[in-house]
């Protein structure tokens, strides 16, 4: 099965098309979406096993020789990201059954999710820079639908901002690819890497590197370019927010990591130094936002920004600990952000508000929710047995090895701020006297149905932390390909 | 006052078929000359838009009783199916095949699976463009 690496892209696409035929039938929509995601998940797991056994999988579409056709490349990093993406989407879809409402389900909600997964998985798997642009557009156009679906006033306002920012950054993406093409004359990522190594990164390539940083920085919300994110992400309903928060910015991060480890590795002092500086500023900006708000959604949204900074700071060190820490933290952050958004969605459902000052005493009435939230919060902050620990430990270790003492201290200090911001939610929402706050009447069965996928995601993130030892070989494989581009290049340009 | 657009409607009835045939020609010519699924699809949409201008939305929907969302879906299925067919022969995705066939009336013709893919593109373009125009133009 040489086409195995395409299955996680094709299968969601196929099921999204099938769903177009059953617009009004919600039962069919729900079951087909679940079946499609389950099959995709199985395919993705097979892919991970295959990459583990046989090394990097590469395939050039249409039986054309490598630099001339579109190459699809699945190394361990992209295989793991694809698997995590499908897993999170599955739980968010299960959560949507109770949380999203029939009105939205009847207007292409599930097809939009599946099209978005097609785009995300494609962007993770592609080995062609222009094809990456196309997959970015696939996921962005589906996300435009998801952010505006429902047509509330706030959604309409924020979707205009979101679309405007992304259209501009996509145009910049095309311009940057055009510059790169005019310099190296190829679009295949492995071939670009070879050509840049041949000409030894002159000034123009460094300029293109910075342009890529701007393009992907807008998608992945890097420091001066994250301005659109807090407003836009707060507008759509919680399941959509969970998908966006867990998946979309990570595509930008992946693109930065991929281009900065494969293409622009000959002038590390400038490009990676700039990336480190911007990453630290991102962490600081995120920390300020996370402490400034009394709104559940905003606090967790600013925690996305912090995580983006942490991951990119690790990746910018370009040493083994830093990069493997970034890979660990990237996957941890996808799982934990998915879990946290689902949990705060339940808190908002139970209390009927996202304002921290208007809630309290939930521990007496909703104890399991409280404990699950506490575990997720500790996992986010990186308390040792839980999932956030090992990634951050490795990143800090990598930063010390590279001599970035100040950066390491910023990361460690940011963990405290992260812990403070999420524990504040816990204290305000769960402690206190339940009689002071009037809870709206909510359906206990709906609450339980919403809890199940959220709890499953929290358990997964705990397993990710406890099973670190078991995951290390996979992470090592991912790191090796990032640090030694020759493995990637040899896999694509065989012969 | 009731406007009388008999000239417009009569001309449309003739011109519609000319544009439609031209779009089919452009679609089939795509492999050797400029053209293909995208332009062909847009030209067909143009013909349908001319009908919408000359008559009203309801008449056109009665004359062309398709759900254009479904048309888009069928187009996507055709394209994906053509590309995915290669999976069953264990060659890379999107590998096309072609052969010469002797057809009645046309004689020896070279048929290529890329044409089925293009037919998918054609249907997606027609479906999406007509859906947009109908949604903006209609009440619903």
SS3 sequence of B42-64? HHHHHHHHHHHHHCCHHHHHHHC
ipTM of this model? Answer: 0.92
**Which residue, among A109, A197, A68, A137, has the nearest Cα to A493 in the 3D structure?**
A68
The token pair at A461 is 């993130």
Would the CB atoms of B91 and A13 count as touching at under 8 Å? Answer: no
Orientation angle between helical segments A26-54 and A76-99, nearest 10 degrees: 160
Q: State the smallest CA–CA distance between residue B50 and chain A in angstroms.
A: 27
**pLDDT at position A1 over 80:** no
Cα torsion for A383, A384, A386, A388, to the nearest 10°?
A: 70
Chain A interface includes B72 (CB < 8 A): yes
Stated as kind and residue range, the H or E segment containing A190 is helix A189-199
3 state DSSP class of A67? coil
Chain B interface includes A13 (CB < 8 A): yes
Which residues on A lie below 8 Å from B87 (Cβ)?
3
The whole-angstrom separation of Cα A460 and Cα A90 is 13
3 state DSSP class of A101? coil
Least CB–CB distance from B93: residue in A18, A21, A61: A61
**pLDDT at position A191 over 70:** yes
Which sign, positive or negative, has the C-alpha torsion A12, A226, A153, A345? positive
The whole-angstrom separation of Cα A491 and Cα B99 is 32
Radius of gyration of chain B from Cα atoms?
Answer: 18
Length of chain B: 140
The whole-angstrom separation of Cα A465 and Cα A462 is 5
pLDDT digits (tens, 9 = 90+) for A123-168: 999 999 999 999 999 999 999 999 999 888 999 999 999 999 999 9
Determine how many CB atoms are found less than 10 A away from the CB of residue A241. 25
Which residues on A lie below 8 Å from B70 (Cβ)?
20-21
Contact (CB, 8 A) for A192 and A495: no
The whole-angstrom separation of Cα A429 and Cα A470 is 36
Using alpha carbons only, give the angle A79, A80, A83 rounded to the nearest 5 degrees. 85
Chain B interface includes A59 (CB < 8 A): yes
Would the CB atoms of A10 and B80 count as touching at under 8 Å? Answer: yes
Contact (CB, 8 A) for A341 and A246: yes
Q: State the smallest CA–CA distance between residue B110 and chain A in angstroms.
A: 19
Q: How does strand B98-103 pair with strand B107-112? A: antiparallel
Would the CB atoms of B92 and A3 count as touching at under 8 Å? Answer: yes
Chain B interface includes A3 (CB < 8 A): yes
Which residues on A lie below 8 Å from B94 (Cβ)?
61-62
**pLDDT at position A332 over 60:** yes
Would the CB atoms of A20 and B69 count as touching at under 8 Å? Answer: yes
pLDDT higher for A440 or B118?
B118
Which residues on A lie below 8 Å from B72 (Cβ)?
20
Orientation angle between helical segments A405-430 and A367-381, nearest 10 degrees: 170
Residue A495 pLDDT class (50, 70, 90 cuts)? low
Average pLDDT, chain A: 91
From residue A196, alpha-carbon distances to A123, A315, A349, B101 in Å are 22, 20, 53, 47
Q: Is the pTM of this model over 0.90?
A: yes
* Average pLDDT of the segment spanning A276-301: 93
Which residues on B lie below 8 Å from A23 (Cβ)?
69
Residue A268 pLDDT class (50, 70, 90 cuts)? confident
Would the CB atoms of A63 and B92 count as touching at under 8 Å? Answer: yes
DSSP string, A102-116: HHHHTTTHHHHHHHH
Chain A, chain B: beta-carbon pairs less than 8 Å apart? 45
The whole-angstrom separation of Cα B21 and Cα B19 is 6
Q: Which residue of B has its CA nearest to A71?
A: B92
The whole-angstrom separation of Cα A338 and Cα A243 is 7
- When scoring A8, A11, A20, A25 by the number of chain B Cβ atoms within 10 A, the one with the most, hence best to mutate, is A20
Would the CB atoms of B76 and A10 count as touching at under 8 Å? Answer: no
Stated as kind and residue range, the H or E segment containing A193 is helix A189-199
Determine how many CB atoms are found less than 10 A away from the CB of residue B128. 17
The whole-angstrom separation of Cα A258 and Cα A264 is 10
pLDDT at B139 (0 to 100) = 66
Chain B interface includes A14 (CB < 8 A): yes
* Average pLDDT of the segment spanning A369-395: 91
The whole-angstrom separation of Cα A97 and Cα A92 is 9
Contact (CB, 8 A) for A158 and A231: yes
The token pair at A379 is 């996992």
**Which residue, among A344, A341, A396, A375, has the nearest Cα to A461 in the 3D structure?**
A375
Q: State the smallest CA–CA distance between residue A469 and chain B in angstroms.
A: 36
Would the CB atoms of A20 and B73 count as touching at under 8 Å? Answer: yes
From residue A90, alpha-carbon distances to A20, A37, A38, A96 in Å are 19, 6, 8, 10
Least CB–CB distance from B87: residue in A3, A17, A62: A3
Contact (CB, 8 A) for A392 and A411: yes
**Which residue, among A392, A214, A424, has the nearest Cα to A306 in the 3D structure?**
A392
Length of chain A: 495
Chain B interface includes A35 (CB < 8 A): no
Chain A interface includes B24 (CB < 8 A): no
Which residues on B lie below 8 Å from A63 (Cβ)?
91-92, 95
Residue A358 pLDDT class (50, 70, 90 cuts)? confident
Q: State the smallest CA–CA distance between residue A2 and chain B in angstroms.
A: 7
Residue A377 pLDDT class (50, 70, 90 cuts)? very high
Q: b/e string for B75-103 if b means 16 or more Cβ within 10 A? A: bbbbbbebbbbbbeeebbbbbbeeeeeee
**Residue A128 gets which letter from DSSP?**
B
Which residues on B lie below 8 Å from A59 (Cβ)?
92-93
Q: Lowest-confidence range among A170-184, A474-488, B97-111?
A: B97-111
Residue A105 pLDDT class (50, 70, 90 cuts)? confident
From residue B98, alpha-carbon distances to A397, B80, B111, B115 in Å are 57, 18, 6, 10
Chain A interface includes B90 (CB < 8 A): yes
Q: State the smallest CA–CA distance between residue A138 and chain B in angstroms.
A: 14
Would the CB atoms of B69 and A23 count as touching at under 8 Å? Answer: yes
Spans of chain B below 70 pLDDT: 1-2, 139-140
Q: Which residue of B has its CA nearest to A58?
A: B92
The token pair at A185 is 């004359």
Contact (CB, 8 A) for A136 and A149: no
Least CB–CB distance from B91: residue in A23, A63, A72: A63
Determine how many CB atoms are found less than 10 A away from the CB of residue A160. 12
Cα torsion for A408, A413, A416, A421, to the nearest 10°?
A: -110
């816990």: which residue's tokens? Answer: A426
């Amino acid at each position: 099965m040489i086409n195995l690496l395409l299955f996680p892209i094709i299968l969601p696409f196929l099921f999204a098309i099938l769903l177009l035929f059953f617009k009004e039938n919600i039962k069919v929509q729900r079951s087909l979406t679940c079946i499609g995601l389950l099959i995709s998940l199985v395919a993705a797991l097979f892919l991970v096993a295959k990459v583990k056994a046989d090394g990097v999988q590469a395939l050039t579409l249409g039986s054309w020789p490598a630099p001339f056709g579109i190459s699809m490349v699945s190394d361990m990093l992209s295989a793991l990201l694809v698997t995590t993406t499908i897993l999170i989407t599955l739980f968010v879809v299960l959560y949507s059954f109770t949380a999203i409402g029939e009105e939205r389900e009847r207007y292409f909600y599930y097809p939009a999710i599946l099209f978005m997964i097609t785009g995300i998985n494609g962007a993770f798997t592609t080995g062609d820079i222009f094809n990456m642009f196309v997959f970015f557009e696939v996921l962005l156009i589906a996300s435009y639908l998801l952010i505006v679906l429902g047509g509330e006033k706030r959604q309409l306002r924020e979707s205009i901002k979101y679309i405007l920012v992304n259209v501009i950054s996509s145009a910049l993406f095309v311009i940057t690819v055009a510059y790169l093409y005019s310099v190296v004359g190829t679009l295949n990522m492995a071939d670009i890497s070879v050509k840049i190594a041949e000409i030894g990164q002159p000034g123009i390539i460094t300029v293109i590197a910075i342009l890529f940083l701007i393009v992907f920085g807008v998608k992945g919300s890097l420091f001066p370019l994250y301005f659109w994110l807090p407003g836009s992400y707060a507008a759509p309903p919680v399941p959509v927010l969970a998908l966006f928060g867990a998946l979309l910015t990570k595509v930008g991060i992946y693109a930065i990591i991929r281009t900065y480890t494969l293409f622009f590795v000959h002038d590390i002092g400038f490009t990676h130094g700039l990336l480190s500086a911007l990453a630290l500023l991102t962490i600081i900006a995120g920390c300020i936002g996370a402490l400034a708000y009394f709104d559940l959604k905003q606090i967790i949204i600013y925690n996305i920004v912090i995580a983006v900074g942490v991951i990119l700071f690790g990746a910018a060190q370009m040493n083994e600990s830093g990069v493997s820490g970034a890979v660990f933290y990237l996957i941890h952050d996808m799982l934990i952000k998915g879990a946290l958004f689902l949990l705060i969605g339940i808190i908002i459902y139970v209390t009927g508000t996202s304002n921290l000052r208007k809630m309290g005493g939930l521990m007496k009435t909703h104890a399991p929710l409280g404990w699950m939230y506490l575990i997720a919060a500790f996992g986010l902050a990186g308390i040792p047995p839980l999932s956030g620990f090992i990634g951050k430990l490795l990143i800090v270790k990598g930063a010390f090895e590279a001599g970035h003492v100040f950066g390491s201290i910023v990361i460690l200090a940011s963990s405290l701020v992260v812990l403070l911001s999420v524990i504040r939610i816990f204290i305000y929402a769960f402690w206190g006297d339940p009689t002071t706050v009037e809870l709206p009447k909510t359906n206990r069965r709906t609450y339980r149905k919403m809890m199940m996928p959220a709890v499953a995601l929290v358990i997964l993130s705990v397993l990710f932390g406890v099973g670190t030892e078991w995951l290390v070989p996979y992470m090592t494989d991912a790191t090796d390909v990032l640090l030694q581009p020759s493995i990637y290049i040899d896999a694509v340009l065989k012969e | 006052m009731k406007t009388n657009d008999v000239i417009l409607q009569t001309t449309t009835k003739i011109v519609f078929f000319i544009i439609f045939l031209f779009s089919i020609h452009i679609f089939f010519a795509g492999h050797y000359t400029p053209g293909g699924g995208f332009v062909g699809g847009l030209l067909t949409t143009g013909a349908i838009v001319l009908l919408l201008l000359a008559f009203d939305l309801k008449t056109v929907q009665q004359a062309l009783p398709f759900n254009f969302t479904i048309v888009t879906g069928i187009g996507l299925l055709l394209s994906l199916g053509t590309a995915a067919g290669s999976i069953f022969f264990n060659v890379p995705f999107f590998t096309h095949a072609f052969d010469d066939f002797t057809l009645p009336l046309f004689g020896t013709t070279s048929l290529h699976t890329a044409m089925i893919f293009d037919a998918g593109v054609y249907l997606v373009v027609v479906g999406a463009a007509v859906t947009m125009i109908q949604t903006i133009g209609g009440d619903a």
